[in-house]
Structure 1
Amino acid sequence: MKKWPLVAAAAVPAVHLIRRLGSPALPPPAALPPSVPIPEATPPADMDLVAVPTGVNNRVAAYAYSGGSLFDRRDFYIGAALIKHPQGDLLVDSGFGRDIAKQFATMPRLFQKLTKYEVWKPAVEQLEAAGYDFGRLSGILLTHAHWDHMSGITDFPDLPVLISARDHAAFYNPEMFGNFRGYFQDTPFNWQEFGFEGGPYLGFPRHHDVYGDGSIVCVPAPGHTPGSVIVFVTLPNQVRYALVGDLVWQREGLTRRLERPFLIRRLGDFDAEGNRQNILRMAAVMQRIPDLIVVPAHDQRAFAEMSQLPNVTTRGLTLTPNL
């Protein structure tokens, strides 16, 4: 496995290097052939997708994608998305948890020095404030096992943590960077690995249909981490979302096919070439489904197109309360 340096995806290198080591846009992807159908889905009538913002990392566009401006502030969303489904609600990622300060203190000192974050309210406290029935919650589905996606897991003891087999293995590899292994090493997570038993899905080689109705479908998208996944969600009104995790950090990564700057890719991506191929796969999907709502895990604009928990105050996000 590739050895990861101490400064990874969430650290902020010298901004002049970010600009100098950029890269041009990727070429247009090959169109999906007509033989690749738009998958059918039969989501239940009361299904919904709700943003659960827990805080931000302070960034600029130049950090997020090649050619981005140093003066364009982009506070990266850190949080979760709650999928309401009668067979069991799922949190996609968990955002910052109650113990984020203690967790973060176990990270390398250079990482701590170069990473600035702001906590709003952990997901568990937002759900409590909203009067949420925790008996509905069946698991936390990780797009990948990095610190800013799984800090809040410890706030939900014994809750199943759904993870791809490759990221589960990578989490315990000493050469894998970007998680709280020093803090989590003695934590008995209720890991539940999932595979990809289904065939091709929108140009991706395999898929996992969580509830068998096509409403929540995971596809493998390795690159940022060995076992990163993309989660496709289809709501009852046939509005389709793609929760792409850290495939890109901002929408421009897909709408303009702009990778992370070279230095950031070098430090933050496990397999930059694999990530590049998955960017092109998703760009082809966006061509086939023009109204697909693409949700990079750290783009506040994307989460603003979801519902919000009631009785929760957020900063910087204008959302529609609904639970």
Structure 2
Amino acid sequence: MRRFFKWLGGFLLVLLVLNVWMFWPVRLAVPLLDASIDLPAAHPPPDMAIYALPTGAMHSQAVFAYRGGTPGEHRDFTMTAYLVRHPRGDLLIDSGFGTQVDAQFARLPMLMQVTSTYSKGTPAARQLAAAGIEPGSLAGVLLTHAHWDHVSGMTDLPGVPAWLPEAEAAFVHGDLPMAAIAHSMPNLALRPYAFADTPYLGYARSFDVWGDGSIVVVPAPGHTSGSVVIFVTLPGARYAFVGDIVWQSEGIERPAERPWISRHLVDLDGDQVRAQIEHLAALHQRFPQIVMVPAHDARPTAAMPRLTP
């Protein structure tokens, strides 16, 4: 019996050490940006606008969102699609939860199912229709990446293409578990795009969607092979939609990466994600007028208008 309690004490000590190691509040370094980097010129049309379309949330704790998060502090990981209205074509950024979310959630790896709960809101397609916007009229959905919670609403947008870089199209066509939902969508129309060798805010390549600097996409691999950051410039406002490079704003403001267990569950390449966080943190310090928008943090979008019928 004494040997058993000795073994149990050692086991509990190992668990304690592992927990401290995984969740210890380590802050990342913020590199110095090259002095030549400045805000790029943009010429958004005067009637360009953006709307937040919240579609639901997953429920977790701050401790799982970033290193240094408080255990027991509730956090809602919001699922939001963003409508960008532009004279050349309206686009969604990500699609949020769709009407098939229950069936999609049931296909996730068991560890994700048992550690997550979620609540449903109104799918983006229904919000668009209620506001008098025909969902099929969209020019497309710009995906920050193709994980299930970002493509879920595509099931309600038949014929609307998903715009994504060639690397992310390969991810969708592959057989990795995290691509399974997107891979299995029979009517998911992909519209791959290529990046030009045009630098943008320290990124070597970029894709200017409408050619006026109002929507510019840059490659930001790590979370998936083709993850991107989408910069949107409106008259009088600038946003950076960073997808899941971080889940909550503290990831950029501290800056801090996800705890090991969260990284292990969702990130393809943790070193690349860390480099992306550090660069975004440097941009945040140099250009605080750019509102950083993690895909699952409602706070940066609180000031954005909602669609109304």
TM-score by length of 2: 0.90
Superposed displacement of residue 136, structure 1: 4.5
Q: What's the Cα RMSD here? A: 1.9
- SS at 1:308's partner residue? coil
Name whichever of 38-47 and 190-199 sits farther off. Answer: 190-199
Q: Which amino acid aligns with 2:29?
A: P
* Equivalent residue number for residue 165 of structure 2: 164
Contact 1:97-1:151 within 8 A present in 2 as well = yes
* Secondary structure of the corresponding residue to residue 79 of structure 2: strand
Decide which structure has greater helix share.
2
SS at match of 1:78: strand
Does the CA-based 8 Å contact 2:171-2:179 persist in structure 1? no
Letter in 2 for 1:137: L
Question: Which ranges of 4 or more aligned residues in structure 1 deviate by more than 4 Å?
Answer: 14-20
Give the drift of 1:134: 3.8
Is 1:274 paired with 2:304?
no
Give the superposition deviation at 1:198: 3.8
- 1:300 pairs with 288, 292, 298, which one? 298
Counterpart in the other structure of 1:234: 233
The counterpart of 2:242, out of the listed 220, 241, 244, is: 244
1:104 partner amino acid: F
Query: Which residue identity does 1:217 align to in structure 2?
Result: V
C-alpha distance 104-135 of structure 1, shift in aligned 2 (>3 A): closer
Which residue of structure 1 lines up, in the alignment, with residue 187 of structure 2? 188
Displacement of 1:28: 2.1
Q: Is the 8 A contact 1:18 1:263 kept in 2?
A: no
The letter of the residue matching 1:28 is V
Letter in 2 for 1:275: V
The answer to whether structure 1 residue 215 and structure 2 residue 209 are counterparts is no
Alpha-carbon distance in 2 for matches of 1:267, 1:135: 34
Deviations 1:155-177 (A, max 9, x none): 01011110111111112222342
Change (3 A) 1:15 1:207: farther
Deviation per CA, 1:86-110: give whole Å up to 9, x if none.
1001000001101111222233344
Corresponding residue of 2:107: 106
Q: SS state of the match for residue 167, structure 2?
A: helix
- In the superposition, relative to structure 1, how do residues 188 and 129 fare at CA in structure 2: closer, same or farther (>3 Å)? closer
Equivalence map 1:48-127=2 (5 Å): 48-127=49-128
User: How far does residue 72 in structure 1 lie from its aligned partner after superposition?
Assistant: 1.5
Q: Aligned partners of 1:16, 1:48: CA distance in 2, in Å?
A: 49
CA contact (8 A) 1:139 1:159 kept: yes
Q: In the alignment, does 2:12 pair up with 1:29?
A: no
Instruction: Give the AA of the match of 1:29.
Output: P
Give deviations 1:185-208, integer Å, cap 9, x for gaps. 260321100111141110111100
Whole-angstrom distance in 1 between the partners of 2:47 and 2:108: 41
Tell me the equivalent position of 2:261. Answer: 263
Larger mean Cα displacement after TM superposition, 168-177 or 59-68: 168-177
CA distance in 2, matches of 1:63, 1:178: 22
Partners of 1:85 and 1:168 in 2: how far apart?
Answer: 25
**Counterpart residue number, 1:44:** 45
Q: Is the partner of 1:212 in helix, strand or coil?
A: coil
- Identity over the aligned pairs, expressed in percent? 45
SS in 1 for 2:67: coil
Q: 1:256 to 1:89 in 2, by over 3 A?
A: same
Return the alpha-carbon distance in structure 1 between the equivalents of residues 200 and 273 of structure 2: 17
SS of the equivalent of 1:187 reads: coil
Residue 36 of structure 1 deviates from its aligned partner by 1.9
Q: Which has the higher contact order (CA 8 A, sep 6+)?
A: 1
Contact 1:98/1:122 (CA < 8 Å) preserved in 2? yes
Where structure 1 has 5 or more consecutive residues not aligned to the other structure, the ranges are 1-13, 312-323
Contact 1:18 1:261 in 2 (8 A): no
Structure number with bigger Rg? 2
Corresponding residue for residue 142 of structure 1: 143
Stretch of structure 1 that moved more, 42-51 or 284-293: 284-293
| Residues 48-105 of structure 1, C-alpha deviations (whole Å, 9 max, x = no match) | 1110000000011101000101121110111211111110010000011011112222
Contact persistence 2:125–2:135 (CA under 8 A):
no
In 2, are the aligned partners of 1:58 and 1:76 still within 8 Å (CA)? yes
Report the AA paired with residue 234 of structure 2: L
